[in-house]
Chain A
Amino acid sequence: AQSVSQHNHHVILSEAASLELGCNYSYGGTVNLFWYVQYPGQHLQLLLKYFSGDPLVKGIKGFEAEFIKSKFSFNLRKPSVQWSDTAEYFCAGPRGSQGNLIFGKGTKLSVKP
């Protein structure tokens, strides 16, 4: 079965702390992976994507993610978080047909000023 798992439900950090959010996927075939962010009261926006090539992917706002095939992981990282990073973060991967996605349950990040 295809699935995407996010292990952290709620992460609380102080400003300037480093961030790592876990994401694991389980399926074979072509791996297209995404991280989305949802700021309070807003819709989901793409942070970054991995299709192929360099497993270290850089996205917007200083975020990056590393695809590790042997661990089936695609963890999101940021060296120094800001209060404005407070949001919910979703990992997503392919689901069946091309163009269809399955999402993890999300990780809520709260950054204390």
Chain B
Amino acid sequence: EAQVTQNPRYLITVTGKKLTVTCSQNMNHEYMSWYRQDPGLGLRQIYYSMNVEVTDKGDVPEGYKVSRKEKRNFPLILESPSPNQTSLYFCASSTQNQPQHFGDGTRLSIL
């Protein structure tokens, strides 16, 4: 089954404790993205990757890092999380000019 898998689905943590949200897709898609969703602000792109080792900043990259060492994986790293990064995060993947497939989301709460 074609899918984008994010882990964890829920996480409550404390300020400053490094965390990684994993994202994996099994569709051999070149393009992958991370978004955060906040009420009234829609989906804002954090980072985007066009292929292995090729990433680019989105609208709100501050405080986040990504890596794309393998085509299927695109982890999101918060080196020193802060409360303003409390949000619902989505990973998505696509192939050229095709619709994006979304993961189920990760709800992060940073205290």
Contact = CB atoms under 8 A, between A and B. Distances in A.
Interface of A: 9, 30, 32, 34, 42-46, 49, 51, 90, 92, 94-95, 97-106
Question: Which 10 A-B pairs give the minimum distances between C-beta atoms?
Answer: A99-B31, A105-B42, A43-B102, A103-B43, A44-B102, A46-B99, A106-B42, A98-B96, A43-B104, A99-B94
Interface in B40-83: 40-43, 45, 48, 50, 56
Contact of B42 (A32, A42, A103): A103
Contacts, number: 56
Most chain-A CB neighbours within 10 Å: which of B45, B95, B100?
Answer: B100
Contact of A44 (B45, B48, B90): B90
A90 B42 contact: yes
Contacts of B56: 97
Contacts of A45: 102
Interface in B17-35: 30-31, 33, 35
Contacts of A30: 97
Contact of A102 (B45, B92, B102): B45
B100 A98 contact: no
A104 B103 contact: no
Given A43-B102, A43-B103, A44-B102, A99 B96 contact: yes
22 contacts: A9-B40, A32-B97, A34-B99, A43-B90, A43-B104, A43-B105, A44-B43, A44-B92, A49-B99, A90-B42, A92-B100, A97-B50, A98-B96, A99-B31, A99-B94, A99-B96, A100-B45, A100-B50, A102-B45, A103-B42, A103-B43, A104-B42
